[in-house]
Structure 1
């Protein structure tokens, strides 16, 4: 059903474009990466959790939904015509996306309404997409079906909100007919991570726990959590105390009460906080003084809604955008743990 709806939607989009006298012309001049999006690669098919999607020809009007797809498309040289509102960014546009679009010499895409988990169907339809990318999202089957009546939809391959960031790049590259460019992007990012890891051999083998204070307890992130992956790539290893909490590796986090903070031992503690006041309150709290990481100053503070967003999860653009400040904070914490 999904495949049939997507093909019909694509045909309808072409027909409408022809009636309007703007067939084949995107809403704005979109910079294109050399050697990408070859017409010879189409049609392409992409399997996802809801079936198989066929993209009949090189997309010219891409709409993104969820997280990461906007960044992956831009990294591959394709500027979407509409993108989801993202908390933590000015007017719903995260800083690394804004920087990348400016670097392309283009205007910002239309930002879809901030509707939370609801899908703004009318706004997406108004963007006249020929492809909707949502490989890291919470789409339900009903939402996917309704969107497929507008344009072909590429959703997540397995579970909602769980696609690894590297897979987002690969899936996006396939859907856009740019698999080679996707590989180039991943190689470039891996080279940046390798550079940082080699510059800080002291990270190797140090145990790390990553947390965010919710006010009623700590969210503790397992090794499988997206925001932990960059830490592990840099040479750290997840602290055994995290596993000892009984953390479900398939869950995004587990909750630890303030009364049990002494159980969370590690060489380094990564503290995510939306602002400096939140971080300071946690570090000064009497309940936190039982943690050697806090009393020794071995805490890497990653503060700011944009900084937290850059690793929750990391993306093709945000990972390198926030890498230097993350590494700097980790280096200071590692030195204190010395």
Structure 2
């Protein structure tokens, strides 16, 4: 549906872009404009960022920052910048206000009103993005198509994912989005701060060190003939290594032949996961019961030993297992406690 939206709205956006450029051009030529305005960005060096969908050049320091798709707005917020528009939360939003709790808390801390929230239920709302009149659009963690990117680029410079759709680590999300804002040094400092926090808190759970873990996607307990799991390209699985867990060889091998962030495998090949000590997944007690009762999946060491962390998938707790700049600090203590208990069973 996103592609269809891209095609139908592109002509209007091009027209909007042209009108905006004409307006800006006339304003720049006005003799009434103060001289200092034309030199306000004199010290700014143009930023050139290469990514999977092209090369983006940002000629002047962005003042109005918009973000699309998941969590990109958390970078400017973490750096004290309130976006003019951002995607509404469509997963894990337990109170229905379009904001995840760590985002709500940050806006309150900054004394800021809620920005324009883009409804991305059916894809990017290009017209809503254009209406916020952004100077830059951040999407370093995203699944933008080339068509999405081209359409958004008619509005403002866009920073897309560096290599793999939905495969940008939280570090690279911060680095790229911060760089696009002209705040690379601040982004580096934020990464260091979060790394130090993770290292300090994970040290209290030595049982995690060297324990192999896989992340199952949402499991259908009525049909366990297939199992789906996140590959090492997915940020949930990447985060395991940040906290001392290791990637099973079975997952690493499966990942090596694809750029997808999730794969599905027949339960008849469950013996391939004989190197999995711990499983994280979304579900409840009924999921654990189903896995333990299944004649094939029950043989996976993590299942046999009861080393399963089953997160409530639609809650903030389950959502935050996908690490983002603001959610890491919000979830880390609870997440480590759950993982530590499961790792105890694996030993």
- TM-score, L = length of structure 1: 0.81
Question: Where does structure 2 lack aligned partners over 5 or more consecutive residues?
Answer: 1-13, 34-40
Correspondence list, 1:248-267, <5 A: 248=257, 250-266=259-275
Q: Does 1:114 align with 2:123?
A: no
Question: Where does structure 1 lack aligned partners over 5 or more consecutive residues?
Answer: 24-37
Instruction: Describe the SS at the equivalent of 1:199.
Output: coil
- Give deviations 1:144-196, integer Å, cap 9, x for gaps: 22222222222223343222221111111111111111011000110011112
- Give deviations 1:26-65, integer Å, cap 9, x for gaps: xxxxxxxxxxxx9733432322334332323222221101
Give the counterpart of 2:343 among 311, 334, 338. Answer: 334
Kept in 2: contact 1:218–1:257 (CA 8 A):
yes
Kept in 1: contact 2:281–2:308 (CA 8 A):
no
Correspondence list, 1:253-332, <5 A: 253-266=262-275, 268-273=277-282, 275-276=283-284, 279-280=287-288, 282-283=290-291, 285-287=293-295, 288-305=297-314, 306-312=316-322, 314-332=323-341
Give the counterpart of 2:50 among 47, 57, 68. Answer: 47
Kept in 2: contact 1:10–1:152 (CA 8 A):
no
Correspondence list, 1:1-338, <5 A: 11=21, 14=24, 40-88=43-91, 89=93, 90-116=96-122, 118-215=123-220, 216=223, 217-243=226-252, 248=257, 250-266=259-275, 268-273=277-282, 275-276=283-284, 279-280=287-288, 282-283=290-291, 285-287=293-295, 288-305=297-314, 306-312=316-322, 314-338=323-347
Kept in 2: contact 1:10–1:130 (CA 8 A):
no
Q: CA deviation at 1:280?
A: 4.5
- Give deviations 1:234-271, integer Å, cap 9, x for gaps: 22211234346677353212213334434422463223
Q: CA RMSD in A?
A: 3.1
Q: CA deviation at 1:112?
A: 0.6
- TM-score, L = length of structure 2: 0.79
Mark the CA change 1:170 to 1:8 in structure 2 (over 3 Å): closer, same or farther: farther
Q: CA deviation at 1:95?
A: 2.2
Aligned partners of 2:82, 2:271: CA distance in 1, in Å?
48
Kept in 2: contact 1:267–1:337 (CA 8 A):
no
Aligned partners of 1:70, 1:252: CA distance in 2, in Å?
22
Kept in 2: contact 1:165–1:315 (CA 8 A):
yes
Aligned partners of 1:39, 1:170: CA distance in 2, in Å?
24
Q: Which moved more, 1:164-173 or 1:298-307?
A: 298-307
Q: Which moved more, 1:67-76 or 1:240-249?
A: 240-249
